[in-house]
Amino acid sequence: MKAIHVTDERTLELQETDTPILKDGEVLVRVRVAGVNRADLLQAAGHYPPPAGESEILGLECAGVIEDPGTTGRKAGEKVACLLAGGGYAEFVAVPEGQLMPIPEGYSFAEAAAVVEVATTVWSNIGMLTGLEAGQTILIHGGAGGIGTFAIQMAKHVGATVAVTAGSAEKLAACKALGADILINYREEDFAEILKNKCDRILDIMGAKYLPGNVKALATGGHQVTIGLQGGVKGELNIGLLLAKRGTISATALRSRDRADKARIVASTVENIWPLLEDGTITHQIHATLPLSDAQRAHDMLKAGEVTGKVVLLIDA
């Protein structure tokens, strides 16, 4: 099969490689579309290797058709969306049965591939973990990104007040169009001062850089969940302030969870989020669709901050 290979120079090239060999409980999926995520950029740079035993090929989500059901009870030809630990930037990928999802009704392969990772990440964190409720205020950093655009819509559906940070007026306008209530340009404004003691929940992609400001913004009993480290890995925590607020800080990752845990999250996401996709309450946000051979261009777009929403890669198997 053809797949994207990371060269010694850390660039992406389309090359020939072996088709995956199925393990017990896996299906072989003919990939039609793969989603692009910032975690892929980290892996391509050599900073985010896949879990032991998983594919070295980039790609944490895809949509396609089951080619070989293996030892499962699935059927060849079944259309599926897939949560992956790796392997999506390829013509074929092996997927544990518990990480298969139906294509949301009315969705294309591209639209399905654009929501798998964001849906499971957002729901598992601000739904399953922090239990966001109506009337609460949530701060979403990187509001115009794939995670952010999805999280805004889900939080508004719950009935929360949504604050976002983004780096331009255009991106903040996109956040507002999706329902964001409080718009903060992080290049010009201090989110911690604007939101001091007001945030019941914070969805953080920055890590160390925003840690002091996030604690300042937390309300009493507030809960911050960090899912990314774009702002570094080591920061200073004012434990006294966190204690005084009875605050909680969690740090989570989806990729490194075991297959049973992923299957639990996938099932809960399909149950709770798929109906919202199908009735239009939450919409996919595809910024660009590129051929697999242009994977490097897709990564460059993300690095340059040009993307609002998601980029997906079309695969012709």
Q: Which residues pair with 93 in a beta bridge?
A: 29
User: Which superfamily does CATH assign the domain made up of 120-251 to?
Assistant: NAD(P)-binding Rossmann-like Domain (3.40.50.720)
Give per-10-residue mean pLDDT for the chain (317 aa): 96 97 98 97 95 96 98 97 98 98 98 98 98 98 97 98 97 98 98 98 97 98 96 94 98 96 98 98 97 98 95 87
- Give the dihedral sign, CA 94/99/104/105: positive
Could you state, in order of their start, the residue ranges of all structural domains in the chain? 2-115+256-314, 120-251
pLDDT at position 194 is 98
pTM: 0.96
d(CA 198, CA 179): 18
Q: Do the domains spanning 2-115+256-314 and 120-251 agree at the CATH topology level?
A: no
pLDDT at position 277 is 98
For residue 52, give every residue at least 6 positions away whose Cβ sits within 8 Å of its Cβ, in sequence order, or none.
Answer: none
Q: How far is CA 45 from the centre of its chain?
A: 18
CATH node for 2-115+256-314? 3.90.180.10
d(CA 25, CA 73): 9
Structure tokens at 174: 């996109």
pLDDT at position 316 is 72
90 phi, psi to nearest 5 deg: -160, 170
d(CA 300, CA 306): 9
Q: Which of 118, 131, 147 is nearest to 205 (CA)?
A: 147
Q: Which of 156, 197, 200 is nearest to 178 (CA)?
A: 156
d(CA 105, CA 250): 34
